[in-house]
Amino acid sequence: MREKLIIGRKDLANFPELELENIAVKIDTGAFTSSIHCDKIEEIEHEGESAIRFQLLDPTHEWYNGKTFVFKKYKLKKIKSSSGHSELRYIIRTKIELFRKIYPVELSLSERGDMKYPVLLGRKLLRKRFLIDPSKQNLSYNDLNNE
């Protein structure tokens, strides 16, 4: 069994396929699926196939760049929010970089502009990889800057 890394309650992560670096992430053990804040989420036809089109973050976020992403591989899943109501959300598979390692991650696309953190990392990503120490923060980011 490999040793688990310790991650704090919040950190900064990279999403290489989404062209995002040093994005604030919050650890959310109450969520199974990780989520990312998006804008203008819509299902479209792209090159003769169904696809999902969206922009990451929104114009009020400091890292917003207005770039539109299209994913042909996606699914629709019922997600229960912290307030207890369920909604259908689009799920994409991409990669996240934490502690200089790349991990596959499923992200639900969510319009969460009213939230402080644009990304929540859920149990599906965390399990078997990380132990959470809520008294710590930015351990992955600090690891990158202490070369």
54-97 pLDDT, tens digit per residue, is: 999 888 888 888 899 999 999 999 988 777 788 899 999 999 99
Distance CA 115, CA 137 (A): 18
pLDDT of amino acid 88:
93
Q: Could you tell me which residue, 80 or 21, shows the higher pLDDT?
A: 21
* CATH number of the 13-121 domain: 2.40.70.10
Let me know: does 36 contact 20? Beta carbons within 8 Å: no
pLDDT at 31 > cutoff 60: yes
Domain borders along the chain are 13-121
- Helix ranges (DSSP H) in 12-136: 123-126
Given this model, what pLDDT does residue 147 score? Answer: 52
Tokens describing residue 46: 């792209």
